[in-house]
Chains A and B, each alone.
Chain A
Amino acid sequence: MSWARNILRVNLSKGTCANEPLNMEWAQKYLGQRGLATKYLVEETDPKVDPLSPDNKLIMATGPLTGTCASTAGRYSVITKGALTGAIACSNSGGFFGNEMKNAGYDMIIFEGKSKKPVYLLVEDDSAQLIDAGDYWGKSCWDTEEGIKAKHQDPLIRVASIGVSGEVGVKYACVVNDMHRAAGRSGVGTVMGSKNLKAVAIRGSLGVQVDDADKFLAAVSSGKAVIADNPVTGQGLPAFGTQVLMNVINESGALPTRNHLDSQFAGASKISAEAMAEAREGDGKTNLLTTSACFGCTIACGRISTIERGHYTVAERPQYQIASGGLEYEAAWSLGAATGVDDLDALTFANFVCNEQGMDPISFGATVGAAMEMYENGDISDKETGGLEVKFGSAKALTELAELTGRGEGFGAEIGLGSKRMCEKYGKPELSMAVKGQEFPAYDARGIQGMGLTYATSNRGACHLRGYTVSSEIFGIPVKTDPTESDGKAGLVKAFQDATGAVDSSGLCLFTTFAWSLDDIAPQVDAACEGDWTPERLAEVGERVWTLERMYNLQAGFTAADDTLPKRLLKDAAKTGPAEGKVSDLGKMLPEYYDARGWTSDGVPSNETLQRIAL
C-alpha cells in the first residue's frame, strides 16, 4: 500500500474525469511523484511538443509517503514540459494540498487537452467534476482560493491555482497552493493557464494505508528523532529559516549581485534573516511575525511576515497590510541582491505580489536584474520601460515591475518573458544569467564550483534543488569540500542529483536531507510500500529518474552544448571574496561528470548505462 493505486485522468478538451489504476510495475521502478509522473509524461507525450499546446500534459503527483505521518510528508509535484525552458519540468510544493490529494485517493491527476473556457477541477474523494471558472478568471491566486472556499462553504478545501500571470502567459508562472506555497519553477503555471485550467480544489477524507503499520510507525518515530536531534533541522531551520543563508553566502563570496556583475552585496545584512527579526525604526515591529510549517513537518522553516504600514508599497493599500508568506532565501536574493535593492519591506512586497499573482520570484527578480543592467548600459531606455527608471538598487522599479509583470502589462510583459527571451529580444543574450532558459538561484558558480556543474547539467534548467552541493561545499554535510576547488565535484554532483531524485519521488521534503541520508529514508519507504526498499535501491531509482529526464531532454532537442553557463561565469573572474580571480571550472568538471554518469563525451547515456539502470 501507501500508493493509492489510483489516477484521475482529466480530459479538458472533452470535459471528462475518469479513474484508472496506477501502473504498479512503473511504481516499483520510479517510486512516485517526480519519478513516476515523469515516466507517465515520457510515455504519453512527444518530447518535441510545444509546451503550450493542448498536446502537452500536466501532471500533479504525490509520492507514496505523501499523506502519511512521516515528517514533512505533505509534498506534491507538478510535472510537465516547462513553458520557460522547453525542458522537462518538475516543480515541488509543500503546504497542505498534496496531503489532501492523497487523502482523496489519488496518486496523480493527469490533465490533458485544453478546455474551451476557464474551468476548475473540484475533487471530493471519489467525486470529480469540472466547474466553470469564469468568476475567477482574471483574479489572483489569493482571491481564487478564498472564492472557491466560500462558494463551496468549506474552509478546509485545499486549492492550487494560477494567478493572472499564468493566464497572460508569463513564462515563469507558478501553481500556488495554500496562499503562499508554490510549485514555483520552470513555468508549470503557464502550462496550466494554457489549458484554461484555473484551479484544482480538493477535499479528501479516505486516509492513507501503509503496508506494515507497526514497522512504519517505528521507522517514522526514529526518523523524527534524527530530525529533532540534528542541529540544522532541529534548531537552525526552525529558528532562522532559509534566510539565514544571506550573510553566510555573502561572506563566502558567492552571493550573485547585480546580475552576477559582482559576487558580494553590500546590502546583504539589510535583507537577511537577522534583519527580518530586528525591530524596524518606523513602527518598532519586526518583519518576521511568526513561523509556519507544512503538513506533517517537524522542521517548520516557513516565515510569516508583515510590511510596515507606512511603507510606500502598502501605505494606501490595506489589502497588503497583512501577515503572509515571508521571504525565503532564494526570493530574498533574486529580489534583492540580484537587483541591488536592499529595502527589506520592498522585497517582502514584491514577494507578496509573486505569491498573489503566481510568479516564480527567482526568475522574476533575476530577469529584473538583467533589465537593470540593460537599462544602465543604454540597451533599453525609458521608451521601452514606459518611463520607469529601471536602475540597479531601485526599490520602486522592483515593486512596480512586480505588479506590472503579474498582470502582464507595460514593460512587465517584457519581464514576463524571462531573461533569455528578453535579452535576446534586445540583442543582449549574454546578459541572461540562465541555463536552458531558466534563471540561476542564489549561489555564484565562481565561488561554489559544484553549483556551477549542478546548474549546467540540471535537467530543468539552472536550479539549486537538483543537487544542493552547497550542503557539502559550505556546511560540510555530509562531508566538507572546498567550494573554490573543482576536484571531486563531478562525483559529488552526481551523488546529490541521484539522492535528490529519490527524495523528490517519495513525498518527503528535500530539507530532511540536512539530517537524513537514504539510510534514514529507506526504512520508512520500506515499511510503507510493498517491495524491499533499501538505500541502494533508492539511489538507483534516483539515477533512473535523472537519466529518464535526460533522455526526454535529448529527445526534445537539447544537446551537450546546452550543458553550459553564461560567458560571464566562465570568463569574468569574481572580483572579491575567497573566489577572487576565479571563474567556473566547468570545462574540467563536465567531462568528468559525463564519465561518472556513464555517458558518452556528447552527454548521451551509453547503452551499458541504460541497461545497468534498467531504463
Chain B
Amino acid sequence: MKITVKLYALLGSYLPPQAADNQIDVEVDEGATPASIFAEFHVPPENCHLVLVNGVFVAPGERASHLLKDNDAVAAWPPIAGGDRS
C-alpha cells in the first residue's frame, strides 16, 4: 500500500534526496505502523516529538500499534512550538 511520509524540521535530513517539500511516497506492506515507517527511515523514535496520521495525533504509546491504511499520510516533527508574542 502507498503511504506518504512527511518528516519536518531537522527530521527532514532522514528523507532520501528525491523527496520534495519534506515528503515522499513509499510502498509498504500491510501491518505497517508509524513506528515501523520511522525505523525504515532510520529516524530515532525519541526524536519524533509530534506524530500525526492524516493530521490526527498519535500518542507515543500507540505509534507501534496504530495500523496504517492505503493512502495514509504519516507526519513527524522533533520538539517544536510557536506563535508570536505581541
Contact = CB atoms under 8 A, between A and B. Distances in A.
Interface string A474-499: 11110010100000000000000000
Contact of A269 (B10, B21, B50): B21
Given A480-B59, A578-B56, A184 B86 contact: yes
Contact of B77 (A244, A470, A476): A244
Interface residues of B, number: 27
Does more than half of chain B's interface fall in helix, strand or loop, or is it mixed? Answer: loop
A558 B52 CA distance: 40
A243 B8 contact: no
Given A231-B49, A248-B77, A578-B56, A329 B82 contact: yes
Given A239-B10, A274-B8, A274-B9, A251 B83 contact: no
Interface string A501-532: 00000000111001000000000000000000
A475 B81 contact: yes
Interface in B44-65: 49-50, 52, 54-57, 59
A174 interface: yes
Residue among A239, A248, A577 with max Cβ neighbours from chain B (10 Å): A248
B9 A244 contact: yes
Interface string B58-84: 010000000000000101011111111
Given A247-B8, A248-B77, A274-B22, A468 B86 contact: no
A582 B50 CA distance: 23
A interface, how many residues as a size bin?
A: 35 or more
A508 B61 CA distance: 34
B85 A509 contact: yes
Contacts of B54: 578
A514 B81 contact: yes
Given A248-B77, A251-B52, A475-B50, A468 B83 contact: yes
Interface string A269-299: 1101110000000000000000000000000
A430 to B, nearest CB: 27
Interface centre among B12, B50, B79, B80 (most CB of A within 10 A): B80
Contact of A252 (B6, B55, B82): B55
B86 A274 contact: no
A48 interface: no
A578 B79 contact: no
Contact of A578 (B6, B50, B55, B82): B55
Interface in A436-490: 441-442, 464-465, 468, 470-471, 474-477, 480, 482
A246 to B, nearest CB: 9
B84 A329 contact: yes
A482 B57 CA distance: 8
A442 to B, nearest CB: 8
Interface string B1-43: 0000010111010000000011000000000000000000000
Contacts of B86: 91-93, 174, 181-185, 360, 465
Nearest to A78: B86
Q: Give the most central of B6, B78, B81: most A CB within 10 Å.
A: B81
B18 to A, nearest CB: 15
Interface in A299-343: 328-331
A28 interface: no
Contacts of B9: 236, 239-240, 244, 273-274
Nearest to B46: A231
A418 interface: no
Contacts of B59: 480
A128 interface: no
Given A233-B81, A236-B9, A510-B85, 15 more contacts: A184-B86, A231-B79, A236-B81, A244-B9, A248-B52, A251-B6, A251-B52, A274-B9, A274-B12, A329-B82, A329-B84, A331-B84, A468-B83, A470-B83, A578-B55
Shortest 9 CB-CB distances between A and B: which pairs?
A184-B86, A231-B79, A245-B82, A242-B82, A236-B79, A236-B80, A578-B55, A328-B84, A269-B21
29 contacts: A93-B85, A94-B85, A183-B86, A184-B86, A232-B80, A232-B81, A233-B81, A236-B79, A236-B80, A237-B82, A242-B83, A243-B82, A244-B77, A245-B83, A247-B6, A248-B8, A248-B52, A248-B77, A273-B9, A328-B83, A465-B83, A465-B85, A468-B83, A470-B82, A470-B83, A475-B50, A510-B85, A511-B85, A577-B55
